[in-house]
Structure 1
Amino acid sequence: MGIDVKRLKVISALGSGQLIAFGTSLYLLTALAQPIARDTHWDLAWVVGGYSIGTLVSATVAAQAGRFVGAGQGRLMLCLSALLFAGGLSLIALSPNLIVYCLAWAVIGCAMGTGLYDVAFGTAGRLFGTTARAAIIQIALLGGFASTVFWPLSHLLEGHFGWRATCLVFAALHLVVCLPLYALAVPVPIDAAPVKGSPLPKAHLVIGEGWLFTAMGVVVTLEMAVVAVMAVHMHALLTGRGLSLAAAVSLSTLVGPSQVGARLVELTVGRRWPAYLSLVSGVVAVTLGIVLISL
């Protein structure tokens, strides 16, 4: 069976884009929050709160982005996200005060809503149809190494050039790497159509399942909140336990391979058990990890 070169190009482009996108959004402040706070004398809570602003904006943008993806305009959304990431990161680098800094994170939030996993996976789904499952997992495998690559890279760049220059370098990555990858390697589906202004379809739940949907939403939201907090404060937590910064960075890079390993397990044997067991396993793993760090 020959290799589908076009499919491989799409997966490589989307996976590489996700690696850079997550590395310069979710994992950005892990290395840069403390330097930003020290240099500007802004309250650390506000510095870290920038990411919260980004996630809130991302949530409001995601539904509209999904409509474009459904109409076959995933490439457009991804290219837009690269431009927004570049603009937001540049604005962070040039921020003279907290107001501009928070505005920059709002721009990054728009980028997150148009360019993270939801849009990448949806784009793969529109392109590959019933064979998209394997492609989505492969994209996630590449994206899973974001922390492994960008945490050490962020510390290295910040140590030599400062946090502002680091943000400018990351902005350039989106313009020089992500934008061309999306524009050249991700095709537009043959059946792509203009996006109409019709309302989004409403989901219809079976009677008695509403509470299950609500409970799952609460669990997923809480888990992602904990994961985001741990990601932002990972190095501070480890250095607070007595580790040197170098040791903390080295140890935390294991997060990426662990994510990839879990996804490989899901790919190989996960299909044999109910989907809710994957969610339960994730919650248990996060809880166990936090407990072990606190010991």
Structure 2
Amino acid sequence: MTLPSPPPTPAGLRVDGRRTAPPNTRTLVAVLAITQTVGYGVLYYAFAVLLTPTAADLDTSATAVTGAHTASILVAAALAVPIGRRLDRYGGRALMTCGSLLGTVLLLAWSRVDQVWQLYLVQIGIGIASAASLYEAAFAVIIACHRPERRSGALLALTVVAGFAGTIFLPLTGWLVDRHGWRTALLILAAVHAVTAPLHAAVVRRPPNTSHHPAHQPDDPGIPPAAARSPVRAALADRGFWLLAAGFTAHTAAISAYTVLLIAALIAWGHPPAFAAAIAGLTGVLSVTGRLITTGLRRRYRTTTITAVVFAVQAVAALALPLTATGIGGAIVAVVGFGLGFGVATIAKPVILAERYDIRRYATLAGVLVAPTTLAKACAPLAAATLHAATGSYTPVLVAVAVCCGIAATAIAACSGKAPPARARRLSE
């Protein structure tokens, strides 16, 4: 099914004909790289360090505290579509600024909680703040403000820098907790996070192709009238959209299960815990490498083709791990093969959506994909643990991971021949 796209809007001109200053895209990417690194580091990664002292101080279990974090993630997923609609309608400035402010206030509130129910309220609020200010919102802003040929590079720059959020904030939070206690550590982290709000307010602008007016859709006899009036409805009627949803959901499940079980599996196959942890740590560096390779190959190949090949390589690597893991070299090769695809979906998903559909509805469509991928991320580790307990072996789990990667590769590859016509690719040029 070929989807129509509106005619391009000249840079600096909104679709209602009024002039607006085009954003400085280099400054925008640089600032968002900073805010996403800080935002993910403080609102997401720091929780792992704060979990144990918070549970001890509240006299509750780590499971109860972890449940609050899960609630935060699920709330963020539930809000993805309405927040996406607002991003498409009004741009990201007010939303990301308010999300950053809310996150800072809730970090301060977290430092004062003395009951478990209060922690749940704080974490639910952090889920709202995260949905409004982190990756999905930042991706929507970057997609809307960049020409097609520059989007991949901008997304790469953002994700490469923000990919170090855990590397920076996990040890920083640990040091703060050891030195000052978890409550004071949260106050300091809140002060660090506070810089994101003025940065969002100062740099994020409504892009030229964003308007509160309904998008004009050209006539196309191959598109039903209702779909032509609604880019989102037209996209949801496209078989390719649901192939993308299935592919990225299956891949998220594979990554989530693999991440959780890898160290335990390597130890079970006879490797020392230190070696297993060091090998697992390679995946962070490899995720950046995979993004660099994907961006470089886009000059010659379709993004869908590159992504499908990477996912297929991961399937082979997952199958190879049980066969080669008893040797050091075999374990390293198998983990490297799988790790190269760790960060590819993060950069490929927004690029593919922007290539296929009206970018003025990008955030809404991206939001539709968040719910299934989030559920996969939450449920896959439990399913992997259940399968291991039932079989007493990690080999069936790795086979299941390979199957998920194979499904992802097949689904994404099936979209390669369904690229929109040239007029869609010229959007914003």
One fold, TM greater than 0.5? yes
Distance in 2 of aligned mates of 1:90 and 1:286:
42
Contact 1:92 1:167 (C-alpha < 8 Å) held by counterparts: yes
> Displacement, 1:211?
7.4
Moved over 6 A (4+): 250-253, 283-294
- Provide, for residues 76-109 of structure 1, a one-character-per-residue CA deviation record: whole Å limited to 9, x for no partner: 2211221121122222211111101011110110
**Residue in 1 aligned with 2:132?**
114
Kindly tell me: are residues 260 and 59 of structure 1, through their superposed partners in 2, closer, same or farther at Cα, counting changes over 3 Å? same
Moved more, 11-20 or 182-191: 182-191
Give the residue type in structure 2 aligned to 1:276. A
Distance in 1 of aligned mates of 2:320 and 2:68:
28
1:216 aligns with 2:244: no
Contact 1:146 1:256 (C-alpha < 8 Å) held by counterparts: no
Contact 2:93 2:204 (C-alpha < 8 Å) held by counterparts: yes
Distance in 2 of aligned mates of 1:93 and 1:72:
33
> Displacement, 1:74?
1.1
> Displacement, 1:259?
2.6
- TM-score relative to the length of structure 2: 0.56
Kindly tell me: are residues 79 and 125 of structure 1, through their superposed partners in 2, closer, same or farther at Cα, counting changes over 3 Å? same
Kindly tell me: are residues 27 and 216 of structure 1, through their superposed partners in 2, closer, same or farther at Cα, counting changes over 3 Å? same
1:86 aligns with 2:108: no
> Displacement, 1:10?
0.5
Contact 2:91 2:205 (C-alpha < 8 Å) held by counterparts: no
> Displacement, 1:223?
3.7
SS at match of 2:207: coil
> Displacement, 1:72?
4.2
**Residue in 1 aligned with 2:224?**
none
Give the residue type in structure 1 aligned to 2:308. Y
- Provide, for residues 50-77 of structure 1, a one-character-per-residue CA deviation record: whole Å limited to 9, x for no partner: 2211111001111122112212421222
Distance in 2 of aligned mates of 1:28 and 1:256:
17
**Residue in 2 aligned with 1:262?**
290
SS at match of 1:24: helix
SS at match of 1:41: coil
Distance in 2 of aligned mates of 1:6 and 1:85:
26
> Displacement, 1:251?
8.6
- Provide, for residues 172-223 of structure 1, a one-character-per-residue CA deviation record: whole Å limited to 9, x for no partner: 2222x21121111222224543489x9993333456x687456425414424
Give the unaligned 5+ runs of structure 2.
1-22, 215-228, 326-330, 336-393, 395-429
SS at match of 1:264: helix
> Displacement, 1:18?
0.9
Moved more, 52-61 or 67-76: 67-76
CA RMSD of aligned residues (A): 3.8
**Residue in 2 aligned with 1:278?**
310
Kindly tell me: are residues 206 and 78 of structure 1, through their superposed partners in 2, closer, same or farther at Cα, counting changes over 3 Å? closer
1:178 aligns with 2:212: no
**Residue in 1 aligned with 2:86?**
68
Kindly tell me: are residues 195 and 13 of structure 1, through their superposed partners in 2, closer, same or farther at Cα, counting changes over 3 Å? farther
Distance in 1 of aligned mates of 2:185 and 2:95:
25
Distance in 2 of aligned mates of 1:285 and 1:75:
42
Residue 95 (structure 2) aligned to one of 45, 52, 77: 77
Distance in 2 of aligned mates of 1:223 and 1:266:
19
Contact 1:50 1:102 (C-alpha < 8 Å) held by counterparts: yes
Distance in 1 of aligned mates of 2:111 and 2:314:
35
1:169 aligns with 2:197: no
Give matches, 1:238-257, under 5 Å. Answer: 256-257=284-285
Residues matched between the structures, number? 279
